[in-house]
Homo-oligomer: A and B are copies of this chain.
Amino acid sequence: MPRQTPRNILFVMFDQLRFDYLSCAGHPFLETPHIDALAARGVRFTRAYVQSPICGASRMSFYTGRYVQSHGAAWNNYPLKVGETTLGDHLRARGMDAVLIGKTHMKVDEDGLDRLGISRAGIIGARVAECGFDARVRDDGLWAEGADGPYDAKPSPYNAYLRERGYDGRNPWHDHANSAISDGDPEDAQGEIETGWLMRNARKPANIREEDAETPWLTDQAIAFLEERRRTRTLVPWLCHLSYIKPHWPYIVPPPYHALYGAEHVVPAVRTDAERAHPNPVHAAFMQSRVSRSFARDDVRNEVIPAYMGLIRQCDDQIGRLMTYLEQSGRLKDTMVVLTSDHGDYLGDHWLGEKDLFHDPSVKVPMIVYDPSPDADATRGTTCDALVEAIDLAATFVDVAGGEFPGHILEGRSLLPLLHGETPTDWRDFAVSEYDYSCTPMADALGMAPGDARLFMVVDRGFKLIHAEGGMPPMLFDLENDPDELVDLGRDPRHAKVVHDMREKLATWARRESQRTTVSDAQILARRAGAGGRTGVLIGAYDEDDVTANDLEPYTGRVTRTVQGASDER
């Protein structure tokens, strides 16, 4: 029986959503019934790692299906170099649209466009600039402005929306979505801004109607896209990348979500005094950042985490809206729905804030895949603990779209076999993630030049190694005996062999052929089969005994004429 694959793909990404901040993943207080329901319809992958624990690098891996070392966009706003093949390129070549609604953190390679003479006005240039997507709405969500100007100089579609909805000011995102109103009552606030940038305001209600917050707004955009496809009866299958901005900081959320959770719902930080007493120098440097120092305080955690949970609860409600729409419109029958995040959030675990390092709260992400095809019926509602990487999603989507699999470009593996209850015997036995912290103050603190301020994570089913360039010692966690990753064995001589073996895995990975993207394995095997070929080149043949008559046929005719003086010039 031929394999049945979904027609469309709804690829939902949250930003900075921890793998364990879902009720289906065991959070004791946070309720995410709609995401749980999606998990009950599909497979929840419990060991899904991103290729980098920072937005830009991670996303470029999601969108190219390639490791960070392969695509090179190793930090936020490092341009993805022109020429990198994107998910959109692969899908369009297979007859599928690739539409973006929301955030990508894509920075265009302006020099590359200029060097190759590619117009930004044309469709090709526009797609290159949007990481291969047809951008219906591109909004990266951070409309901050300071003395040096805006963080993001692009026009803000969200600000345009807010203005349409009657929110005024030059930057309504700033005044409303990212500002609090005192005591939950806007009328009493007397207009004093209480900025979402200060986490002391996290528990206060955002100064915005809930329906106009970023998460519902992006859901609206996705439903509008789906409605448009329905109305116009467009036959082209699609991937819609619905890429939410939240629950990423600033941690502030409108009513009622701001008040759903309190300090009593904050799970204790996963950290020990021993971690602080003898840290790996890289870990120590990251502990010193402002965000880590803030999250080291329980009072801060108790203010901020309830807002983070409220943001997630809001996200969950929007997933509910979306699923209802998909069901009612009939799209749930032919649409794969994927839910993941670009990385997690330490929230004070291991004395860290933000992401950046490789403990599970940072590098492991939620990943839920609903495949409508009957082939996936057997796995519905199950979890899968295979080692999965973010790049596997692009591979899965291209596999869904059909055609020859471009394994010479895509470095991930299709999840379809796992979704269909098969476990390939050659499934990967380790996963890799990377972090280039060259742009950060931590690189200065550690005295690292750009090429040296780099970290690699290698994780298998037993251990997790963090290898640091620049002569720093490694970090090592025994995942079986220390699943919370509290005891760093990287400098323990008794674990030298494990460190060595994990480094060997990293070396094997690093030697991979990631740039031979212009020739497929199938083309190579065809050339190998035709090696020695029949194009007249005879390498190493001494005489007629070394060749076939067929090989020699072109060379046994008669010279039309010899040339006068050919041998008597000198």
A residues near B (Cβ < 8 Å) are: 69-75, 78-85, 89, 109, 111-112, 115-118, 122, 124, 128, 142, 144-151, 166-169, 174-176, 179, 181, 184-187, 189, 191-193, 195, 197-200, 205-211, 249, 254-256, 289-295, 297, 300, 303, 353-354, 436, 438-441, 443-444, 449-451, 454, 456, 467, 469, 503, 506-507, 510-519, 521, 524-525, 527-528, 531-544, 546-547, 550-570
Contact = CB atoms under 8 A, between A and B. Distances in A.
Contacts of A122: 117
B116 A562 contact: no
A116 B78 contact: no
A84 B116 CA distance: 10
Give the residue among A167, A511, A570 with the most B Cβ atoms within 10 A.
A511
Give the residue among A208, A521, A566, A568 with the most B Cβ atoms within 10 A.
A566
Nearest to A408: B450
Contact of A566 (B192, B209, B256, B518): B209
A147 B439 contact: no
Given A197-B537, A207-B566, A436-B513, 10 more contacts: A78-B516, A118-B118, A146-B537, A174-B554, A191-B559, A191-B562, A255-B570, A294-B541, A454-B511, A510-B510
Contacts of A144: 535-538, 554
Given A515-B81, A566-B254, A567-B184, A535 B209 contact: no
A83 B111 CA distance: 11
How many copies make up the complex? 2
Nearest to A201: B543
Nearest to A170: B560
A193 B124 contact: no
B535 A145 contact: yes
B518 A81 contact: yes
Shortest Cβ-Cβ A-B pairs, 10 listed: A83-B83, A291-B540, A72-B515, A144-B536, A510-B510, A507-B507, A195-B555, A146-B536, A186-B562, A151-B535
A539 to B, nearest CB: 5
Contacts of A443: 528
A440 B528 contact: yes
B528 A115 contact: no
B440 A516 contact: no
A540 B168 contact: no
Given A198-B538, A290-B540, A556 B193 contact: yes
B558 A192 contact: yes
Nearest to A197: B538
Say whether chain A's binding surface is mostly helix, strand, loop, or mixed. loop
Given A186-B566, A524-B438, A559-B175, A542 B300 contact: yes
A259 to B, nearest CB: 10
Contact of A199 (B80, B116, B541, B567): B541
B148 A534 contact: yes
Contacts of A209: 563, 565-566, 569
A292 B540 CA distance: 7
A248 to B, nearest CB: 11
A200 B543 contact: yes
A56 to B, nearest CB: 11
B186 A567 contact: yes
B506 A566 contact: no
Contacts of A467: 511
Give the residue among A290, A538, A543 with the most B Cβ atoms within 10 A.
A538
Given A122-B117, A191-B559, A294 B82 contact: no
Nearest to A567: B255
B207 A559 contact: yes
B186 A543 contact: no
Nearest to A82: B83
Given A150-B536, A193-B557, A518-B112, A563 B145 contact: no
Contact of A521 (B69, B450, B528, B544): B450
B142 A115 contact: no
28 contacts: A73-B518, A74-B516, A111-B518, A117-B118, A144-B538, A145-B554, A146-B535, A147-B550, A174-B554, A176-B566, A179-B559, A186-B566, A191-B562, A193-B556, A195-B556, A197-B536, A198-B546, A198-B555, A199-B543, A200-B542, A209-B563, A254-B569, A290-B540, A291-B540, A449-B521, A454-B513, A456-B511, A507-B511
Contacts of A519: 75, 78-79
A166 B563 contact: yes
A510 B513 contact: no
A387 to B, nearest CB: 19
Given A518-B78, A536-B150, A168 B560 contact: yes
